[in-house]
Structure 1
């Protein structure tokens, strides 16, 4: 069968409706639709060749906590496929597309970690990519080869999953911007409580002047500068020159 059946499409539609929560919670359903032994959603730093995060089902199959796995992670066939342009965002690619079984058996990552777990082939798809990281969906099987139906199913899942991850990233960005804005608004209120002299002293601090330099500039004792800073720190709710300067710069 080279195209998804009506049952496949119905299950995919139900899956897409449920992606509004944590997409990683739906990995088991994705794997069941495809008929895989293990399904993973991973974040890979493709600049440093590093596995940043990974969620898998079944959970015990996740290799992210195995330190020796990370030392050979760059030998993953997906890296070679990505560098060769054969693993493009939204387009599934399999180990069997880029490696013979003999080549795989010579690969230490495959020989030491995947073969002992019964994995003979893996279908991968980059669902989201930026200059630094890629989010990778992968399906493992105990036999080699994937049908056209399998690839179409993964392509459909990946398209919706990519949009879901992009939406979640945008929500996270907006929340962080809101927290920063709220922090700046609160800081503005605290700055208003400073006396003109305290603001003047902090202005010198923000320019990188030492307490001695500030004392000379303002024609006061260094101990007086210390006192102004203590009062300003207390009003601002900070504990260092760096924190105070950051508030002034907004």
Structure 2
């Protein structure tokens, strides 16, 4: 199978390219560095030439009110190029519960991306993943100083990027779902608890203070960012991931 990975040099994309190639597929890693610009459409026709499937794991450069325009433009360009190339399966990476948090600009933008994909003429699959373990450092930095880290108690079900890649590879090489599938980590944590586990594992002396108004996830109500009963659960626990040298 010939597969084009849009965003093929990023955290998820680079691992996905490696995984698919190791499985014997012909893979094109498309990114700005290879001359492919989703915003302008430059290089897309060449990157998708002969592709059976295209996987889009690109991200908006900002998480603010500009992100809907990014996804509107890039999804339109990718769908049009895919139709010209005869692509038979379009896959995107999205977020568990993304349509349940309309108060966040970025989540509204990702919901728009999903809707545009569904409205296209090409069979599709949407892989909705929970938050990545690898992003905890960024989350800890949102409301922190030298002594404290303020986090809400929002329930999360995070997962390792490697497990996201495995789920993406499975969906990418299968038949189009024409639906979304949720993938999530094996455990649910309150975000402030995750912060304490992370700081303790790294011997960081700062204290986590529970603050329901701190950071982006303060806008999330209830358990909408945790997976439902039909989700595919990843194998890697957070504590084991923390203990693994990188």
TM-score (normalizing by structure 1): 0.25
Q: Which has the larger radius of gyration?
A: 1
